[in-house]
Each structure stands twice: as C-alpha cells, then as structure tokens.
Amino acid sequence: MESKLTYALELLSPSVLSAVGRVSQDELKAADEICLRADRPVSLSIVSKSLLLDCICTSQDIEHTFKTACSYSLHSHSRELSCGYVTTRGGNRVGICGTAVNGESGVEAVKNISSLNIRIAREIKGCADEIVCSCGVSGIMIIGPPGSGKTTVLRDLARQLGRLVKISVIDTRGEIAACYRGVPQNDIGALTDVFSGYPKHIGVAAAVCVMSPQAIVVDEIGTEEDGKALEYALHSGVKLITAVHAEDFEEASKKQVIKGLLENKAFDYAVVLKNRKPMVTKLD
Amino acid sequence: MLCTFTTLTSLELHRRRTFFAEVSKNLADKSGEIIALLRYESADVFEICATVFRDGFADCDYKAFSVITSGDFPTLWKNACKTLPTDKRSAAIFSRIGKILGSCDSESQVELISSVKSELSAHAAKLCKQADDSKKLYTTLGALLGAAISIMMI
C-alpha cells in the first residue's frame, strides 16, 4: 500500500506534493483518493470523508499530473482516455473530468480538464479465503451492487487460485491486475495470465485458444457478445469466474446473459456480497 | 613535419564532417524506428527512448536519450539534442520530435515524424556529398598551409 501511495504522490506537481506532505502520516496512509480541482483546494478522501488541504490547485498542477499519468504519451492511453481514466504505476487509477471530444465512435478524448481524481489502489489479500475454501476451482458468479467489492474479491480469487491452476484474467479496464507496461501491479498469482485492455469477448476467445486456462476470470459481463464468448469457453471445458452487478441472485438471474449461462450450467456457485461479506450458495 | 601536422589536422576536420553526416543519417534511421514503435506498439515516449536509443552508433552513445525514463519529456528531449555530436542543423531538425512525440494521436505523430525523417535524410545526403566533394580540398589545403608556414618560418 505504501509503495502504491508513493507512486500516487509521484504524479503530483511540487506545490501540491508539498501541501500533501503537510498532512499527518496516519491520514495519508488511510487516504483512498487525492482529488485535484482547478482553482479549488486539493482534497483527500479518507474513509468517505473529505479533507480539504491548504493549497489551491492551479490548471498547471492539473496539467502536470495529467501528463505524468499519461507518461507524456496521449496516444498510448487513447482508449483509456476515451473512457475517462488512466491506469498508472502501482495500479492507481487517475479519473479525468473535463469536456468530451466526441467523434464517430463516441467520446474520443477529453479536453479542458477541470478535475483529476487519483484513486489509490488497494489489495485486500485474504478477502476471498471463504470462497476459495467453499468453492475451489469451479464456476463462480460474484453478485453485488456497485462498490460492494466484487473486483477486490475477483482479484483475490485470481491470486489464490492462480497459485494452484492456470488462470486467465480478462482485464478490460485494468482493474484486476492493473498492468503497467505489461507488468501486473497487483499480486494475481504465479500461474495467472492477463489479457489487458481486450474487449471481454475477444479476450475470452483469445485466452481459450492460446493459454489453455482451467479457469477464466472476467469482471462484469453484460453484453450478448460477452455471453457468447463465455459459452464458447464453457464448452471448451474452462471454468468461469465472473462478477455481476445485482443486489441478489434473483436480480442477477433476470439478466439475459446470465440467464443463458445459468441454463448452460456455467456456474457451480453464486456468491452474494452483502456488506462486503460473501454468502456462498451452491447452485443445482 | 609541419606539413604532415597540418595535413593530418585538415584530414581530421574532414573526418569530423563525414562523421556529422553519418550521425545525421543515423538520426533519420532512429526517426524511422520511432515511427515503427508508434505505429505497431503504441509505445509511450519513455519506452521509445529506452528502445530506440539502447544501442549507440560509432562514437555516439545516445546516453542522454536512453536515460530519459520519467519527467518533463519535451524539456528532457531538447536537452538531450544539445548533446548530439552532429551539426546544428541536424540537431535542430531532430529536436522537433520532442514537441511532437506523445502530444497527439499516433497518426498525426507518424506523419510529422516522417517529415522530420525525410528532412534529416536529405540533410545527411547533402552533408555526405559536401564531405566527399571537399576531401581533396582539405588534403591539399592542409599540405599547402603547412608548406606556407614552413616557408614563412624559413
């Protein structure tokens, strides 16, 4: 965590860094986010509370952080920029807020950047212990609302199962492995391969073809294409471990893609995250 | 002896001109490598520096470029260009890449760097031709200068 914080601090301009340096070490270590807003004070998010610092952020400070986050290479991050974020060293994510530059394929870039939110990456090792003990290497569907910790659980599952069998992680948004220049910034297991930045359906098909994994980990499936790719993986003898946005199993099973996968008996277990606690149910 | 000294000095000056032309040509090649990395790997500016300038060329080790791993890229590139062992014109053309690289989409960068590459190639060819044309002149002038100084001393 400390090294991830150090990497986050490396993104800041000297004036902002000096203001952040005046914050107590305990508060700094507990910080989840550092937020820069043009012509407003720099703020730290510490366990859902905001701490305003005695430093007004200028547009130059924002430009410095933005360029550093992009490694002075807008072209290398064009896909991420169009989604509004950049994954940086240590797996930290810089969220970008500004004016959208729209093109034929939707938002192509962001200009006039007004705010940046540096989200300091967290790994909670051991949060999937119960799931690993109950389910082992099997088809697992993690269910939970946004912010319930689905991705954190998936990451820990990949880490633990990736020590036992070959796992392929389809990390479309760089949230699970958080690869920086091809190197996973999070501990995701010795036998785990990462398909970073791939659209889910292409990543799944590629993983099955080239890495012969025993299980595939993929975050938040939603489209029909994703479902078809997962069915293909399933019929190739690969176990599926995925996350779904839903309050409970009933809500998840109403989704068309999940419905199809359930009919194909893709999942052996459903894990519902309630208050960050996993509730494991064996599916028939 | 004086004649030999002035002739050797003159030849050294000529060798230096030839070396400048070779470095200039090599910079055009480096521009080509940058284009390839942009086009096929979408590499970031620091990866480009580490890859393209990993190997030196003759007495030119490109160290000022290969050590660019983080920081304000346009400034670092500009400073590195000042260390290039070539003529001012070649260094000035090559330094333009620092303003282009990483600042826009890949296609535009490739287009702009291609023009830098063409300009460098043309300039290198011109330098080579000038060096070849002036080889005899340098040798003759060196010997003549030596002889003139000897006569004056006598």
Q: What is the mean pLDDT of residues A214-223?
A: 88
B48: closest CA of chain A, how far (Å) = 10
Backbone angles phi, psi at A40, to 5 degrees: -130, 165
The CA distance from A227 to A72, in Å, is 37
pLDDT at A83: 84
B55: closest CA of chain A, how far (Å) = 21
**Residues of A in Cβ contact (< 8 Å) with B47:** 181
Percent of chain A exceeding pLDDT 90 equals 57
Chain segment B106-128, per-residue pLDDT in tens: 899 999 999 999 999 999 999 98
CB contact under 8 A, A73 and B45: yes
Residue A82 has pLDDT above 90, yes or no: no
Which residues, in sequence order, are CB contacts of A174 under 8 Å at separation 6+? A80, A87, A91, A93, A196, A197
Give the 3-state secondary structure of B7-54. Answer: HHHHHHHHHHHHHHHHHHHHHHHHHHHHHHHHHHHCCCHHHHHHHHCC
The CA distance from B13 to B19, in Å, is 10
Residue A275 has pLDDT above 60, yes or no: yes
Highest mean pLDDT among A78-87, A116-125, A225-234, B76-85: B76-85
pLDDT at A109: 79
CB contact under 8 A, B45 and A181: no
Confidence of residue A216 (pLDDT cuts 50, 70, 90): very high
Nearest CA in chain B to A68: B71
B43: closest CA of chain A, how far (Å) = 6
Name the helix (H) or strand (E) containing B63.
helix B63-66
Residue A1 has pLDDT above 70, yes or no: no
A213: closest CA of chain B, how far (Å) = 26
pLDDT at A170: 94
Note the ipTM here. 0.74
CB contact under 8 A, B102 and A181: no
pLDDT at A69: 93
What dihedral do alpha carbons B75, B78, B83, B86 form, nearest 10°? 170
Residues of A in CB contact (< 8 Å) with B are 68, 70-76, 78, 181
Chain segment A165-192, per-residue pLDDT in tens: 999 999 988 889 988 878 898 899 999 9
Highest mean pLDDT among A124-128, A143-147, B113-117: B113-117
Q: How far is CA B149 from CA A258, B14, B139, B142, B143, in A?
A: 95, 21, 16, 11, 10
Confidence of residue A2 (pLDDT cuts 50, 70, 90): low
Low-confidence ranges of chain B (pLDDT < 50): none
Interface mutation vs chain A, best among B41, B42, B97, B99, most A CBs within 10 Å: B42
Q: What is the mean pLDDT of residues A188-204?
A: 92
**Residues of B in Cβ contact (< 8 Å) with A73:** 43-46, 101-102
Residue A138 has pLDDT above 90, yes or no: yes
